[in-house]
Amino acid sequence: MRPLVRREWRSLNPNQQGQVVELFEQTPTLASAYVLRTLLTTIFDQTPDRATAQTRLHLWVERVKAAGIPCFNKFLNTLHNWQDGILNYFAGGHGSDFV
């Protein structure tokens, strides 16, 4: 199931989506983590500028904290420590892809 959960929902065929739904019904915490991961990806894919990104990331962090899902703790720490550098991505969409 791991390969299916790592993929975006829209890339799954109806049978695969059904399998993922069955898994999520048995493990609601995993379902919440999947949604939060998808929201984070959307922030990076669709946020037009640094200020909007900062607001959206802050709201996302609050949702993660409210959900109490520990799998995001290391990322939250990284985001806290490197927020300025991470937000620079949104100032022109430049990253360190070659690294």
Supply the pTM of this predicted model.
Answer: 0.84
CA triple 18-27-36, angle to 5 deg: 85
Contact 90, 49 (CB under 8 A): yes
Q: What is the pLDDT of residues 77-89, one digit of tens each?
A: 999 999 999 999 8
Query: Residue 99 pLDDT more than 50?
Result: no
Tell me, what's the pLDDT at 97? 58
69 near 33, Cβ under 8 Å?
yes
HSE of 5, CA atoms in CB hemisphere, 13 A: 17
